[in-house]
């Protein structure tokens, strides 16, 4: 189990990016609801959050290859098979 610490770190990174993405989406929803009430600052915040969300998505997809190399492929296959029945598109790139 020499690779176990690397796998744990890689999984923590993936989970953290997922949690960050969820938090950004929640903040965007809130900003959008405030912005529809006529608050220009909330609309600007929503736009900035969209930029951040895109940056997080880039981190998730661009670093996926490196993260995938750190995780046992058999474990990943079990993980994705259990979630959706298929590996995500980023897995095959």
37-68 pLDDT, tens digit each? 778 888 888 889 999 988 888 887 776 666 56
pLDDT of 82 > 60? The answer is: no
Q: What is the pLDDT of residue 89?
A: 45
Looking at the chain, list the stretches that DSSP marks H as alpha helix, in order from N- to C-terminal side. Answer: 4-35, 40-62, 64-70, 73-83
What pLDDT does 64 receive?
60
Would the pTM count as exceeding 0.75?
Answer: no
Q: Which residue has the higher pLDDT, 13 or 88?
A: 13
Give one word for 85, left, alpha or beta, with left for phi > 0 and alpha for psi -120 to 50: left
Q: CA–CA separation, 31 vs 80, rounded Å?
A: 33
Tell me how far apart the alpha carbons of residues 55 and 71 are, in angstroms, rounded to a whole number: 23
């Amino acid at each position: 189990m020499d690779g176990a610490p690397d796998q744990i770190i890689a999984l923590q990174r993936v989970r953290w990016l997922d949690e960050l993405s969820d938090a950004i989406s929640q903040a965007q929803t809130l900003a959008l609801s405030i912005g529809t009430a006529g608050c220009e600052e909330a609309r600007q915040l929503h736009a900035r959050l969209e930029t951040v969300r895109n940056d997080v998505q880039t981190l998730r997809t661009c670093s996926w290859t490196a993260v995938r190399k750190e995780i046992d492929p058999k474990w990943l296959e079990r993980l994705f098979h259990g979630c959706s029945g298929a590996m995500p598109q980023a897995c095959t790139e």
